[in-house]
Structure 1
Amino acid sequence: MDAKFPNETFSWVLQIAKFDVYPDAVYPVFLTGVLIYLFSVLCNGIILTLIVTRRSLHKPMFYIMFSLPLAEILGITTILPRLLIDIVTQSNVVYYPTCILQGFILHFCGGSVYFILAAMAFDCYIAICKPLRYHSIMTPFTVGGVIALAWGLDLALIIVLFSLQARLPKCKTFIVNVFCDNMSLVWLSCAGDITINNIYGLFITGFIQAVSVGVQLFSCAHILKTCLTHSQSDAKIKAVNTCSAQIIIFVLFEIVSPNAQKLCGILTFTVPPVVNPIIYGMKTNDFRNAFLVVLIKIRVLFT
């Protein structure tokens, strides 16, 4: 017996909590979930494709923004298909390594969104408050560094989080949530001190929130000041169009994400990927124009 798993009751095949659905509603829920998933992947995929293929979007702002739909596709793909299969099959079984992988990816995607939003807020601040120095500040090196910092810092924090969880001896086989996350894995332990896990979990939650909220507030405050003091109305409109979508998405993410209940945990990774592309499509002129150009070319091609 492996010393890491001293209790014979532990199995690599785990039972996972069921998402309660009335029998008559199983297939309607499944179909709705499939449509939500396909819509999310399609919309976010369109944004990624436009940023890659349209030269008008080859700007620092959109290079940073590229990470947002990428994280959202990864997050919703990690949670929703598996959950929908469980709803239909009622198997509710997950292998321990798969559970760790799912939990790691979900935490990684969840944290990365906060850092990406902070990076986008920084870009907004430079674009609106220091327009004459924008291109000298947001060089390819700076943009690459900001993106690497957003993903790298989040990855380091999550690696430590799951390393602390992995050190605990496991002896239970029931995942208390409908998807795998760090605390569900911690609760598989029936021995060992989890105080460090709890403290570190609170620390990274507070740290990620503090960094993201702090940068967002700093950016918004200075942008608002610039809007109020600038005499040209077109500058105010530009500021609002540039940053309002980001603010809406940040508020949406904050409303959905903190709750630990099953449904809210799922909404964290399903609502933003569906809503965010729509918000960006309505609020960002460059996206609208690029998308219209593609539609016109498609129409000409088939007429």
Structure 2
Amino acid sequence: MNLSDSNITLILSAYGSPGPLSYGFFFVTLVLYLTTVFSNLTLMLVISLDSRLHKPMYIFLFNLAINGLMGSTSVCPTILQYLLEDLSTISFTGCLLQSFFINVYGTCVYAILTAMAYDRYVSICNPLQYHSILTPTKVRLLLGAVYIFPVCSLIVQVYLTSRLPICKYTINKLFCVSLAVVNLACVKTALDSMYALALLFIFGFLPLFLVILSYIKILTVSIKASESAQMKALKTCAPHLITFINFSLATLSSVIYTSFNDYLSNEMSILLSIYFILVPPLLHPLIYGMRTDEIKRSIVNILRRKVFALSFLE
């Protein structure tokens, strides 16, 4: 990055002057953000405290909660601040970092959901070999791949973007996204476009293909099983499938927000951006908390122990 570029100040023009509408969105965003933080921290605490949940699926779920917190925290405090200010500005370096963490959130969540689909596939299609296939070492390797490949790839993307000469200084969005930053450049190189397409294929279409393939195999095995086995498989896969569909819809809303923001009203832009950043991290722990018996039992047991401890102290 050029030294002069690091001192560039960008304007996020999607924000209007503070008023009743801004205050309303501020309140809604604040409530959703605080609820997201609380629900994810609660899920992480439950998984940490209950040794019976120290299994591959819940380890992946723990990391899903971490990524949800990272994604929402990388943007929501900034949105809350700018909703109350007349002029919303951010440095070029800060803009690059914000888009980087948003991309890490999106790619890592998809990677974790892919690992969870593999876990469900092994659990249903190879139940007798489950513990020999998904060993602690293999789980650590999968988690390493979930984080290392996306982070390293996105660091390269940030470096390529930072080298582009900047001619524009206004972004008509609530926060920085990669495409918006690239559109500030005077010229775009073929390398940047090809690299962005490669990232989209590797971290977007490939996980989608692998998850669909896993569920095709699960469906094939379930069809041949008994009715009780089919119901058990459905109950086991339902939370993950709902979570994956929810995040895919959120990603689609992000694509619409990124590509067609200039044609959307400010209200619609805010809703689409908040949906991608807040709704999946908010719903993921709620979905697993309501649909997974082991987590529900763990929450009840923890609450009982705390109530018993308080009664004993009295």
TM-score if structure 2 supplies the norm length? Answer: 0.88
Moved more, 92-101 or 109-118: 92-101
Q: Which residue of 2 aligns with 1:302?
A: 310
Q: What letter corresponds to residue 36 of structure 1 in structure 2?
A: L
CA distance in 1, matches of 2:235, 2:16: 41
**Per-residue deviation, 1:67:** 1.3
Q: Contact (CA 8 Å) 1:4, 1:170: kept in 2 or not? A: no
Q: Contact (CA 8 Å) 2:71, 2:277: kept in 1 or not? A: yes
SS in 2 for 1:270: helix
**Per-residue deviation, 1:175:** 2.3
Q: Which residue of 2 aligns with 1:143?
A: 139
Q: Work out whether 1:289 is the aligned partner of 2:297.
A: yes
Aligned-residue RMSD, C-alpha: 2.0
CA distance in 1, matches of 2:292, 2:244: 16
What do the CA deviations read for 1:170-213 (whole angstroms, capped 9, x no partner)?
233222321011122212222x3333222322221122222211
Q: Which residue of 1 aligns with 2:266?
A: none
CA distance in 1, matches of 2:251, 2:230: 31
What do the CA deviations read for 1:251-274 (whole angstroms, capped 9, x no partner)?
111122132243423321111011
Q: Work out whether 1:167 is the aligned partner of 2:175.
A: no
Q: Contact (CA 8 Å) 2:174, 2:273: kept in 1 or not? A: no
Q: Contact (CA 8 Å) 1:5, 1:171: kept in 2 or not? A: no
**Per-residue deviation, 1:130:** 0.3
Q: Contact (CA 8 Å) 1:5, 1:169: kept in 2 or not? A: no
**Per-residue deviation, 1:155:** 1.1
**Per-residue deviation, 1:237:** 2.9
Q: Which residue of 2 aligns with 1:65?
A: 61
Q: Which residue of 2 aligns with 1:130?
A: 126
CA distance in 2, matches of 1:145, 1:137: 12
Would you say how many aligned residue pairs link Structure 1 and Structure 2?
A: 297
CA distance in 2, matches of 1:248, 1:43: 17
Q: Work out whether 1:29 is the aligned partner of 2:29.
A: no
**Per-residue deviation, 1:21:** 7.5
CA distance in 2, matches of 1:112, 1:255: 16
Aligned mate of 1:157, from 146, 153, 158: 153
**Per-residue deviation, 1:121:** 0.3
SS in 2 for 1:40: helix
Q: Which residue of 1 aligns with 2:114?
A: 118
Q: What letter corresponds to residue 106 of structure 1 in structure 2?
A: I
Q: Which residue of 2 aligns with 1:226?
A: 221
Q: Work out whether 1:200 is the aligned partner of 2:195.
A: yes
**5+ long unaligned stretches in structure 2:** 262-268
Q: Which residue of 1 aligns with 2:264?
A: none
**5+ long unaligned stretches in structure 1:** none
CA distance in 1, matches of 2:204, 2:99: 19
Shift in alpha-carbon separation, 1:84–1:117, aligned structure 2, 3 A: same
Shift in alpha-carbon separation, 1:174–1:118, aligned structure 2, 3 A: same
Moved more, 221-230 or 44-53: 221-230
Shift in alpha-carbon separation, 1:218–1:21, aligned structure 2, 3 A: farther
CA distance in 1, matches of 2:16, 2:10: 18
CA distance in 2, matches of 1:159, 1:15: 24
CA distance in 2, matches of 1:220, 1:21: 48
CA distance in 2, matches of 1:89, 1:241: 47
Q: Work out whether 1:13 is the aligned partner of 2:9.
A: yes
Q: Contact (CA 8 Å) 2:100, 2:154: kept in 1 or not? A: yes
SS in 2 for 1:150: helix
Q: Which residue of 1 aligns with 2:47?
A: 51
Moved more, 244-253 or 116-125: 244-253
Q: Which residue of 1 aligns with 2:278?
A: 270
TM-score if structure 1 supplies the norm length? Answer: 0.91
Q: What letter corresponds to residue 144 of structure 1 in structure 2?
A: R
Q: Contact (CA 8 Å) 1:257, 1:265: kept in 2 or not? A: no
SS in 2 for 1:88: coil
What do the CA deviations read for 1:88-129 (whole angstroms, capped 9, x no partner)?
123301122221111110011111111111000001111111
Q: Contact (CA 8 Å) 1:118, 1:215: kept in 2 or not? A: yes
Q: Contact (CA 8 Å) 2:13, 2:170: kept in 1 or not? A: yes
Q: What letter corresponds to residue 193 of structure 1 in structure 2?
A: K
SS in 1 for 2:90: strand
Q: Which residue of 1 aligns with 2:71?
A: 75
Q: What letter corresponds to residue 49 of structure 1 in structure 2?
A: L
CA distance in 2, matches of 1:300, 1:36: 32
Q: Which residue of 1 aligns with 2:183?
A: 187
